[in-house]
A and B are shown apart, each in its own frame.
Chain A
Amino acid sequence: MANKKNDSLIVLAETIADNKFITGDRLVEIGISGPTLEASLSSIAMAQAELGHARLMYKWSNELQGLNASKMEVKEQTGKAFPALVNASNWLSLIAGLYANNQAVDLVIKAILKAEPPNLPTPFNKMIREQQEHLLYAKSWCKQLLRDRGAVPRVFKQHLEKAVAEVEQWLVKVEKDPQLQSEAIILNNSNLVKTFKSEIEQLTNFEEVQHV
């Protein structure tokens, strides 16, 4: 399976894995001092799942490269994680990064599953299911922070915009990647960027409706 044809797919897998790896790490580091006990406990539980997803994606990437995936040891990311997530240092930036990243990964993985690329193993069912939960958590917290008091909504919006911009750039690359398209891994009509933008719009418009 290891050949030049897989280069883009390996980069894609590593990007998802790196972001999951960092998300897991940040969910523990920052989530432990979350705003409520319940939010912190959930954050730690989700960290375990995110690290599991990272491991799955690194394993997938190794298999695509023809490496021995069973002897894999993950110590650090490969440098493809989004800076907003890497530099997350408080609850607001963590939630913004968690939402933007999981929303994008969800769209990409579902697009791959929809394309049903031949001869490509896609072991993502459990990950997709768990990710829906993480997405719901992040979305609920986004909504709360957007309608919180004082400077919270404004500062959170800034973090969200930063995280969304980085993720959107990545989605543009994925959507237009000639190799992913020629191998029918991401279809021409996947509309990744459009769907992502529409999800973000729905989230931020929800807040405007709440203020009316």
Chain B
Amino acid sequence: MTKKSQRHEYFLFTRINRGDDLIQVGSLLAENADLAKIYAQHIYDEETWVEMQVVRKDHLIEVRLPEPLFAKGGVSCG
């Protein structure tokens, strides 16, 4: 039915109580921001969070990434 390529990965950040750290508790796949918000509320309902934020993974701005443990390799053809 729906093309998989239309879906984006969203990270979910929550705060349990006022003053707590905003921490990433999980991720989900959604077709748009509206559905991401609804899915987040329905899937991650194990706590009564005071704050929930979703952000599209590809909207994060890289500052630093871990060094790769192994060099990128591939199988050469021919």
Contacts and interface: CB of A to CB of B under 8 A. Distances in A.
A129 to B, nearest CB: 12
A38 B1 contact: no
B30 A38 contact: yes
A91 B2 CA distance: 11
Q: From DSSP, what is the main secondary structure of chain A's interface residues?
A: helix
A38 B2 CA distance: 13
A102 to B, nearest CB: 13
B39 A38 contact: yes
Contacts of A141: 35
Interface string A1-44: 00000000000000000000000000000000001101101100
Q: From DSSP, what is the main secondary structure of chain B's interface residues?
A: mixed
Given A36-B7, A148-B2, A41 B42 contact: yes
Interface string A121-162: 000000000000100110111001000110010000000000
Interface residues of A, number: 19
Interface string A32-62: 0001101101100110000000000000000
Contact of A35 (B1, B28, B39, B41): B1
Given A45-B42, A148-B1, A152-B1, A38 B29 contact: yes
Contacts of A35: 1-2
A144 B41 CA distance: 20
B6 interface: yes
A149 B43 contact: no
B43 A144 contact: no
Interface in A148-185: 148-149, 152
A42 B38 CA distance: 7
A39 B36 CA distance: 10
Contacts of A45: 42, 45
Contacts of A46: 42
Interface in B35-78: 35, 38-39, 41-43, 45
Contacts of B2: 35-36, 144, 148
A23 to B, nearest CB: 16
A42 B39 contact: yes
Contacts of A41: 39, 42-43
Which 8 A-B residue pairs are closest in the complex by CB-CB distance? A45-B42, A38-B39, A42-B42, A35-B1, A140-B35, A140-B34, A137-B38, A41-B43
16 contacts: A38-B28, A38-B30, A38-B43, A41-B42, A42-B38, A42-B42, A91-B1, A133-B41, A136-B34, A139-B34, A140-B34, A144-B2, A144-B31, A148-B2, A148-B3, A152-B1
